[in-house]
A and B are shown apart, each in its own frame.
Chain A
Amino acid sequence: MIVMDVVLKPRYLLIVSSGKPEELMSMDEVFSRKIMAFYDGNGLKYESRRYVPGSTLKGILRSSATRVASLLGLSSCGEIEPNRINEKHEELNNFIVVEGKKVCHVCDMFGFPGGPKSPLRVSDGEFSKIYVDEFTRSSINRKSNVVNRGALYSYEEVILNSVIRFKIELVKDDDWMQRLLLASLVEIVYSGMGKGCGVSLYIENVKGLNTDDEIIRTFYELLVGEIKL
C-alpha cells in the first residue's frame, strides 16, 4: 500500500465551488464548504469550513492521468459518459482485463461505473493556511464593447500562498500505477486546477513507493522538491 501526503499551493486565484449555504446567497460563487458538528453542552451545533473535496482532487488527478497515460505506454479511454465507456474499452488495443472485460489503465486505477472499487483513495484537501478574497467580474458584449446588462458576478476565491494538504492512498503496488500517479501529480502543475489556477506542489511522508524503478524514482525526486512553473 502506498501512502503519501501532498502539499498544494495555488499560484493564482483558486475557486472550487459547490452548492452555496443560505447565509452566502449574496455571492454568486462561493468556495466549497463542509459542515462541522460539535457538542456545546445543549445539543449539536454546526459551523462551515472551506475545503477542497476529495472528489475534486481525484477528478483533477484523473484528468491529468488521461493526458499523460500515453506517454507512459498506458491507455485511457478519455470517456466519462457511463453508457459509452464500455464501447470505448472494446475498441482499445492496449488494455487490461478486469472481471473478464477490457478496461483502460486509467479506468482500472480511478474506477468506472459498474466496476470494482477504485484502488486509489484521495482524501479531502484541508487548508493549513488560507487567504480568501472576494472578486467581482463582468462579461463584455463583443459587439458593443460594454458590459452586458446584469452580467456582474461576485466570486469568493482563495488567493496565492494558501496551503492545501491532502492524502493519497494507493491500495495496489503495481509499478505502472505508481508511475501514472506520480506523473499525474507532476502534470497538475502544468495544467492547473479549478478555473485556470496554476499550482505548485510537493509530496511528503511517502510510504511504500518502489524507488528501484527508474521512472518512479525520477518522478519521486522531482516531487520531493516543490515543483512550480
Chain B
Amino acid sequence: MKGSYYEYVLKVKSPLILAKHLHRKIYVSESDYISGSRVRGALLTFLYEQGYSNVKEEAYNPSIIFSPAYPVMKEEDKPVIGHAFSFKSKIDGDGKVFSSLGDVRALKKKFKEKPTSLFPSSSPSGKEKGVIKSVLGKPLFFDGKYWREIKIKMFEVESTAIDKRMGRAHTRMVFGFEAIPVGVIYKGYVYDSKNILDKELGLRNNRFDIFIGRGSSRGFGRCEIEFRRIDYSSRIDEIKKFIYENRFVVVMAFSPFTFPVGPLTYSVAPNELKSNNWISFDGRLTLYSYIDEIGRKFFASFGRQRSFMSYSLLANMRRPMINVSVQGSLYLYDVDGDIESISNALYYAEMKGFSNLASLGLGIIRVFDHDFLWGE
C-alpha cells in the first residue's frame, strides 16, 4: 500500500460550534458529523502556527485526506452511520435501528422485482411499533444487543458585545450559538499519501490540541486529536471477493458524495465512475438501471441530496456551493473489465476518495459488502 492510513480520535475539550446556518439569530450547529475539510483545515492551521513550511504546498496539492469524523460512544468503537435502508420507529423512544435490506447480494433482484420492500412504511419484522423514519447518515452505536442512534444534546451559548464607553451590553448585539458539549468523542480516518504525518511531523500516537469551528480565539472548539496507524491491507481481498462473486459492487458514501463529470460540473449519482488522475483503473463502473413495463427508467442510487458549502481560509472566501448526496447513500454499479484493477481502485477510494474533491471531505466511500444492521 502506498502511503499510510490512520484513524483519528477527536475529543471535544471546549464547547464546539459547527455553524451551518443562522436561524432566528441563533447559529445552528451540525452534530452528526464533523466534515473532513474542517478537520483538515484545523490541522493545517495547527501546522502553520507550529512553523511547518510546506502548509501552502499541502493546501494547493493535497496529500493528506480526512474522512468525516462521526461521534462514537467509546474511543475504541468504530464510526458507523445509517445507510439508505436503515430506519427507526418514530414512537420508539429507545431509537432502535433496523434495516430493510438484509443480504446485499440480493439488492439488484429486490430493486428490480420488489423495490417497495426496500422502503417500507412500518417495520417488516413487526418488532418496532408505529410509523418508521429513515436514519440515513445518522451516527449509530451497538449497545451489545441492538443498533441505536447516537443523539447529541446541544446547548445554547449566548454572547453579547459590551459597549466600551457605557460598560454594558450593547443594544441588539446578542448572539446565540448551538454548541456541542464537552466530552463528546468523534472518530474518522485519514490517508497520508506522502507519510508526512509520521516521518516529517512525528504526529503518530501524539495527542495535541487543534481548534475546530467557530470562535476558536474565544475558547470555543478546542479538541484533542490523536492519530493511530491502522493496517488496512486485508480489506482489498474482501472487496475483490465480493466483486468476483457478484460482478457488481454496492458503494456507500462515507462522506457527502459527488463526482466531477466535466469542468466545474458535478453529479451526485454519476452514470459512470470513470478512471481519472486521482484514481485510475482498467474497466467500467456503470450505474445499474432498468426500464419497467411502461417505459420508466430507474437508477440504482438510493439516498438523499443536499447542498454543500465550504470556506477557504487561504483565499479568505466562501467556495461555490455544490450539490452532494448525503453520507450513507448507496449506489449499485455494474462491474466490467479488470476486476483486480477495479478492486484496487475501490480500496484506495475508501481511503482517499474518488476525486480530488476528497480534500474537501467529499467522495470518500465504503464498499458495502454486508449489511451490518441485519440480524443484530
Contact A58 B181 (CB under 8 A): no
Q: A73 interface residue, CB < 8 Å from B?
A: no
A219 to B159 Cα, complex, angstroms: 30
| Nearest-Cβ distance from residue A127 to partner chain B, whole angstroms | 14
Q: B218 interface residue, CB < 8 Å from A?
A: yes
Contact A80 B162 (CB under 8 A): yes
Contact B74 A122 (CB under 8 A): no
A111 to B316 Cα, complex, angstroms: 14
Q: B217 interface residue, CB < 8 Å from A?
A: yes
B12 closest partner in A (C-beta): A37
Contact B183 A38 (CB under 8 A): yes
Q: Which residues on B sit within 8 Å (CB–CB) of A35? A: 15, 153, 155, 179, 181-182
Contact B73 A39 (CB under 8 A): yes
* 8 A Cβ contacts from A72-104 to B: 78-81
A199 to B92 Cα, complex, angstroms: 52
Q: B120 interface residue, CB < 8 Å from A?
A: no
Contact A54 B218 (CB under 8 A): yes
Given the contacts A54-B218, A54-B219, A120-B217, A34 and B15 also touching, CB distance less than 8 Å: yes
Q: Which residues on A sit within 8 Å (CB–CB) of B49? A: 1, 171
* 8 A Cβ contacts from B49-85 to A: 49-50, 73-74
Q: B366 interface residue, CB < 8 Å from A?
A: no
Q: B131 interface residue, CB < 8 Å from A?
A: no
Q: A55 interface residue, CB < 8 Å from B?
A: yes
Q: Which residues on A sit within 8 Å (CB–CB) of B316? A: 116
Q: How many residues of B contact A (CB 8 A)?
A: 41
Kindly identify which residue among B74, B153, B165 contacts A46, using a CB–CB cutoff of 8 Å: B153
A53 to B155 Cα, complex, angstroms: 14
Contact B159 A37 (CB under 8 A): no
Q: Mark A104-139, 1 if CB is under 8 A from B, else 0.
A: 000000010000111111111000000000000000
Contact B183 A58 (CB under 8 A): no
Contact B163 A44 (CB under 8 A): no
A64 to B93 Cα, complex, angstroms: 50
Max count, chain B CB within 10 A of own CB: residue among A39, A120, A123: A39
* 8 A Cβ contacts from B139-176 to A: 143, 148, 150-153, 155-159, 161-165, 167, 170, 173, 176
Q: Which residues on A sit within 8 Å (CB–CB) of B181? A: 34-37, 46
| Nearest-Cβ distance from residue A2 to partner chain B, whole angstroms | 12
Contact A54 B183 (CB under 8 A): no
Contact B165 A78 (CB under 8 A): yes
Max count, chain B CB within 10 A of own CB: residue among A18, A37, A56: A37
Q: B216 interface residue, CB < 8 Å from A?
A: yes
Max count, chain B CB within 10 A of own CB: residue among A44, A57, A59: A44
A111 to B217 Cα, complex, angstroms: 9
* 8 A Cβ contacts from B217-232 to A: 217-220, 222
Q: Which residues on A sit within 8 Å (CB–CB) of B220? A: 54-55
Q: Mark B96-131, 1 if CB is under 8 A from A, else 0.
A: 000000000000000000000000000000000000
Q: Which residues on B sit within 8 Å (CB–CB) of A36? A: 181-183
Q: A150 interface residue, CB < 8 Å from B?
A: no
* 8 A Cβ contacts from A167-226 to B: 171
* 8 A Cβ contacts from B200-220 to A: 211, 215-220
Q: B86 interface residue, CB < 8 Å from A?
A: no
Kindly identify which residue among B15, B157, B219, B222 contacts A58, using a CB–CB cutoff of 8 Å: B219
B220 closest partner in A (C-beta): A54
Contact B157 A121 (CB under 8 A): no
Q: B136 interface residue, CB < 8 Å from A?
A: no
Contact A19 B156 (CB under 8 A): yes
Contact B14 A123 (CB under 8 A): yes
Q: Which residues on A sit within 8 Å (CB–CB) of B176? A: 19
A43 to B215 Cα, complex, angstroms: 29
Given the contacts A46-B181, A121-B211, A124-B14, A80 and B161 also touching, CB distance less than 8 Å: yes
A36 to B181 Cα, complex, angstroms: 5
Contact B153 A121 (CB under 8 A): no
A35 to B164 Cα, complex, angstroms: 30
| Nearest-Cβ distance from residue A199 to partner chain B, whole angstroms | 16
Kindly identify which residue among A37, A53, A79 contacts B219, using a CB–CB cutoff of 8 Å: A53
Contact A81 B14 (CB under 8 A): no
Kindly identify which residue among A42, A63, A118 contacts B143, using a CB–CB cutoff of 8 Å: A42
Q: Please name the 9 residue pairs, one residue from A and one from B, whose CB atoms are nearest each other, closest first.
A: A54-B219, A55-B218, A35-B181, A118-B217, A37-B183, A37-B181, A124-B219, A35-B155, A80-B161
Can you sample 29 A-B contacts with CB below 8 Å? A18-B158, A19-B158, A34-B15, A35-B15, A35-B182, A37-B152, A37-B153, A42-B143, A43-B73, A44-B150, A44-B152, A46-B181, A53-B157, A54-B218, A55-B157, A55-B215, A55-B220, A57-B219, A58-B217, A58-B218, A63-B164, A63-B167, A111-B217, A117-B313, A121-B211, A122-B218, A122-B219, A123-B219, A124-B219
10 additional A-B pairs beyond A53-B218, A80-B162, A81-B173, beta carbons within 8 Å, are A21-B155, A39-B73, A59-B161, A78-B165, A79-B164, A81-B170, A117-B216, A121-B211, A121-B216, A123-B14
Task: Show the binding face of A for B, using Cβ within 8 Å.
Answer: 1, 18-19, 21, 34-39, 42-44, 46, 53-59, 63, 66, 78-81, 111, 116-124, 166, 171
